[in-house]
Amino acid sequence: MLLLARHGETPDNEAELILGRRDPPLSARGREQATQLASRAVAAGILAIWTSPLLRARQTAAVVAVAVAVEPIVLAELIESERGAWEGQSQRQIAAESPDLFKAFEAADPDFVFPDGESLRSQVQRTSSALTIIAARRQPALVVAHAGTIQAALIAIGRRPPPESALAHGKLIPLPWSPGAGGTWPAGAGEQT
């Protein structure tokens, strides 16, 4: 079984900025969330930890690693999407300046592409490749990554993901993944609810 978790919060998350490939460390609250995730990981019997190469994910994985006595494995394909011109910008400002594009982002529209950045389809493909690698290894495995990565994983198994803002930091999300999983886009994925 794969369990996904969003990294602990950073100061940029708390300020509601778009992070993308920006690389801030965890905040004090983020370190607390990592400690809580570690307790959940122990209870879940985690035997392997995989993490994005970004600092916030690696710091979260390191806290969990101490609790479960497993060395985290960094997997480049788990990195957050390249968010181009939006990186470092306030979500409120983007929503005010580009409301239609921001709605498409929030709804995980299949055709969404970050301005000067990565497409959602590209991230789904990259995330699917990573999860296939992880699923072939020791289980149960914890994947510490990002909101965009979690959304992409849910899309890959045919589930409509919640908006990024609804994905809590440090919460475990079970993900049924098997060889050949991924590549399907859920019906209505781009529709607003």
Q: pLDDT digit string (tens) for 144-167? A: 999 999 999 999 999 999 999 999
Q: What is the CATH number of domain 2-175?
A: 3.40.50.1240
Contact (Cβ atoms closer than 8 angstroms) between residue 3 and residue 143? yes
Burial bucket for residue 192 (CB in 10 Å: 0-12, 13-18, 19+): exposed
Note the pLDDT of residue 189. Answer: 44
The overall longest dimension of the chain from CA atoms, in Å, is: 47
Q: Residues 75-84: pLDDT tens digits?
A: 999 999 999 9
Instruction: List the chain residues with pLDDT less than 70.
Output: 179-193
Query: pLDDT averaged over the chain?
Result: 93
Three-state DSSP state, 168: coil
145 neighbors 4 (Cβ within 8 angstroms): yes
**Cα–Cα distance between 26 and 44 in angstroms, integer?**
24
d(CA 178, CA 164): 25
Boundaries of every domain in the chain? 2-175
Q: Which residues are catalytic?
A: 7, 80
Sheet of 141-145, strand order = 73-74, 48-51, 141-145, 2-6, 172-175
